[in-house]
Amino acid sequence: SYSVTVQESYPHPFDQIYYTSCTDILNWFKCTRHRISYRAAYRHGEKTMYRRKSQCCPGFYESREMCVPHCADKCVHGRCIAPNTCQCEPGWGGPNCSSGKFSPASA
C-alpha cells in the first residue's frame, strides 16, 4: 500500500442571513433571519491506495510485468517456452538446442 495526497470537496456549513416581512416597524417591517446553508469547500487529505502484487509461479520470473519461463541452460538455437524446456530452431536439438545442426552439402 502507499499514500497519496488528494484534494477533496465537502459541504462546508455557513450562516446565511436573509430578511423576511414582519411587524417590526422600527426596521421598516423587515426582520433578519438566519439559516445554515452549505457550500462546496476543498481540503487536502491523505488516501491509502492499494496495488495488487502478483508473484510468478516456480520456474518463471518477472520481466516487463509478465511472468516468463526460465531455462537454467540457455537455449542456444531456440527459445525457452516453459521452465527448462527449449523449443529448438529447425535442424537443432538437445536439451538446450546446441547439437545436431544439419547443413546442406557444399557444392
Task: Look at the chain and report how many structural domains it folds into.
Answer: 2
Is the whole model's pTM more than 0.85, yes or no?
no
State which amino acid sits at residue 37.
Answer: S
**pLDDT over 50 at 45, yes or no:** yes
Same domain, 45 and 65: no
% the chain with pLDDT above 90? 59
Burial (Cβ within 10 Å: 0-12, 13-18, ≥19) of residue 101: middle
Same domain, 8 and 31: yes
Q: What is the pLDDT of residue 107?
A: 40
- pLDDT tens for 4-31 read 999 999 999 999 998 899 888 888 888 9
| Structural domain range at position 65 | 60-100
Average pLDDT, integer, range 40-57: 86
Same domain, 13 and 43: yes
- Domain assignment present for residue 54? The answer is no
